[in-house]
Structure formats: C-alpha cells, structure tokens
C-alpha cells in the first residue's frame, strides 16, 4: 500500500509518496513524470512519520539549511542503473554542481566499463522520482547550461532551487562555473 500527502513549497505544490516507512516519491506539479513510478493507488495520510520527517527536511532546505538525503529513508523505485545514478546524485553537496558527463564517468567505473553514455545518465536523472532530496537539479550541461524540464518541471524551477543554494548565474542564464563548486 502507498500513501500520499502534499507540501506547499516556495517553488510550487509538492506531492509526497511513501510505502509506509520510506519515501518513494516527491514530485512538483507539472513535472514530466509526475507520480510515474507509483502504479498502485495511493491513500492520503498526513500523519505518516516519514511525511513529517520529509516536511521537516524540506522546511530546513527552503530555510537555507543544508539537509542531506541520508537523513531520510528513501526507496526510489528503479533498476540498478538508475539506482546507481541516483546514489551519485545524493553525493552532490548543497550548492555544488556536476555534469552528465562526470556522472557517466563515475558510472562507467562502477560498471567496470571503459565509457558510459551521458545520454543514458540523462535518462536516469530525468526519471528521478524523489526530486530536490535526490538533487537532480544540481546537474547541468558541461557549458553551465541548465537542463531542467525532465525531472522537476522546468528550467525556472531548476534555477530557483540553485539560486536558493547560492549558485551564481551569468547574464546569459548559464551557471557561473568559475564561482561554483564541482563534484567530479
């Protein structure tokens, strides 16, 4: 059985989903794969412990604190490759960024391969079912361009989340890569 509740955030209404103990979904309204990983019917339950912990995590995040994904019990549904990508996303510190290519290099090492497609990584990032907490918004193109749209509902939301974390932007809308920390 799956449970759901809503959270009002500065970037829009968020839908949370849990299996009773672990968070399985966090989606912003308008997100491309909204609730796409939970096929079963969900029952409203505002009092579930994991929801209280998640809302506290989100409150702290939007207050400029730096909560980390490991503070919550997460169970994003997905295959081995996607799980590996999402684990790497969880390692990106607050206010820092990485690229699809950098994640592809890490996945190639994990999978004992010479190379890995950055596009395959992009697919996994785009299907992240626990946006914000598993920080897919911290992944940008190698030129600093934003790639929002797949995972969390648009470039504007990606930019708002990164600005919330203190990331600096150039006048053309790209991230100022010289002034950002990078996870390689």
Task: Report the catalytic residues.
Answer: 136
DSSP of 80-99, one letter per residue? HHHHHHHHHHHTS-TTEEEE
> Cα angle vertex 89, ends 142, 61, to 5°?
105
The span from the CA of 78 to the CA of 75, in Å, is 9
Instruction: Say how far residue 53 (Cα) sits from the centre of its chain.
Output: 17
The span from the CA of 162 to the CA of 176, in Å, is 12
Instruction: Say how far residue 97 (Cα) sits from the centre of its chain.
Output: 12
């Amino acid at each position: 059985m799956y449970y759901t509740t809503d959270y009002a955030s500065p970037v829009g209404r968020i839908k949370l989903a849990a299996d009773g103990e672990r968070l399985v979904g966090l989606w912003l309204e308008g997100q491309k794969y909204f609730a796409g990983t939970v096929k079963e019917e969900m029952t409203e339950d505002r009092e579930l412990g994991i929801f209280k912990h998640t809302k506290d995590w989100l409150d702290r995040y939007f207050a400029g604190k730096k909560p980390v994904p490991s503070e919550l019990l997460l169970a994003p549904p997905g295959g081995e490759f996607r799980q590996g990508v999402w684990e790497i996303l969880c390692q990106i510190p607050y206010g820092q960024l990485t690229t699809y290519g950098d994640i592809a290099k890490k996945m190639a090492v994990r999978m004992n391969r010479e190379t890995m497609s950055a596009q395959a990584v992009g697919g996994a990032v785009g299907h992240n079912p626990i946006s914000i907490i598993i920080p897919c918004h911290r992944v940008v193109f190698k030129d600093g361009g934003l790639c929002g749209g797949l995972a969390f509902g648009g470039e504007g939301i990606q930019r708002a989340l990164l600005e919330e974390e203190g990331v600096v932007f150039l006048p053309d809308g790209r991230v100022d890569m010289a002034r950002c920390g990078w996870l390689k």
